[in-house]
């Protein structure tokens, strides 16, 4: 079974308070579901129309584990705190073996 990566990119953080509340709950929820945060923060460089926007990269043992983390009640509670406090997208991709 291939590993999977949850890639979140933030185009804008509209509410730093909502983001802080989200962050307090989201990482423990993701880690409880088997996720490992590999990188988070602003890029050091962006190429080919890349944007200098916040990126979070999380590794899971499988696509199923990554999807289950996103759909878990613990993560939903964190997500609800964020609300519309950020303009972002989250993608789950399977690792190349």
* Domains of the chain by residue range: 4-94
Domain 4-94 belongs to what architecture?
A: 2-Layer Sandwich (3.30)
79 and 21 in contact (C-beta within 8 Å)? no
Q: What is the pTM of this model?
A: 0.91
**DSSP code, position 58:** E
| 21 three-state secondary structure | helix
pLDDT tens, position by position, 53-67: 999 999 999 999 999
CA distance 14 to 19: 8
Dihedral of CA 14/51/31/66: which sign? positive
Read off the pLDDT of residues 29-88 as tens digits, 9 standing for 90 and up: 999 999 999 999 999 999 998 889 999 999 999 999 999 999 999 999 999 999 999 999
User: Comparing C-alpha atoms, which of 14, 5, 92 is closest to residue 54?
Assistant: 14
Residue 66, both tokens: 């990554």
């Amino acid at each position: 079974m291939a590993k999977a990566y949850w890639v979140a990119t933030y185009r804008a953080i509209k509410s730093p308070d909502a983001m802080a509340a989200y962050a307090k709950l989201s990482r423990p929820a993701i880690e409880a579901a088997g996720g490992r945060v590999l990188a988070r923060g602003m890029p050091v460089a962006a190429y080919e129309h890349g944007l200098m926007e916040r990126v979070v990269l999380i590794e899971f043992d499988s696509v199923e584990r990554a999807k289950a983390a996103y759909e878990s009640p613990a993560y939903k509670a964190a997500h609800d705190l964020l609300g519309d406090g950020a303009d972002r997208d989250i993608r789950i991709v399977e690792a190349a073996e």
